[in-house]
A and B are shown apart, each in its own frame.
Chain A
């Protein structure tokens, strides 16, 4: 158990819909990362927050948005869903921003999104 909690674990929805994925980081971790993993794209970085502020953006679509709340949990909002958005969405946390020397990212179990 990494200590990172993601909900829901599975989500099935239709094209055009909007969903929200939730992530609770490990206790004390200030940094949250979101990744998307699909079969043909591998693990793609989407966005990072540190202590409530956006710190870095990757290949995140304009239809997607995220935020980190004062209690440090984060939400990833996906709107106008398309078939191609079907993927595993992972949240990871770490104690510091960009802190490689302290060790690792702690990943959640992921949220599997299926868009029909």
Chain B
């Protein structure tokens, strides 16, 4: 199971772009990278998933370098409502994969 490492916390201000990097040095060939967002007292919510290069949706972008040993979640122009915990998960499709959430990155957006 690929272990992930991400910063415990980050601070930003409204309107700024936030980049949260996750390290996953022992990612396997079939592993995907998935990010979730969790607000206090709510269940985590899927944000974005990718395998390589760049993925973009209406919420975020995910940048994955060629060696796939890290990934960066990019949140454009954050607002106060983006204050949440962000989790990076790495795992393969099918088989015995169990989504394992670490402690995540607590992002606080200031006015």
Contact = CB atoms under 8 A, between A and B. Distances in A.
Interface of A: 2, 4, 33, 35, 42-43, 45, 48, 55-56, 58, 88, 90, 92, 96-101, 103-110, 112
Contact of A56 (B93, B98, B101): B98
Interface of B: 31-32, 34, 36, 38, 41-46, 49, 87, 91-104
A100 to B, nearest CB: 5
Contacts of B94: 96-101
B43 A100 contact: no
8 contacts: A2-B45, A56-B98, A58-B98, A92-B99, A98-B97, A103-B46, A104-B34, A107-B43
Contacts of B96: 55-56, 98
B41 A88 contact: yes
Contacts, number: 77
Nearest to B104: A42
Nearest to A105: B99
A101 B46 contact: no
Nearest to A35: B101
A42 B103 contact: yes
B35 to A, nearest CB: 10
A100 B97 contact: yes
Contact of A45 (B38, B41, B99): B99
Given A48-B98, A56-B98, A98-B93, A110 B49 contact: no
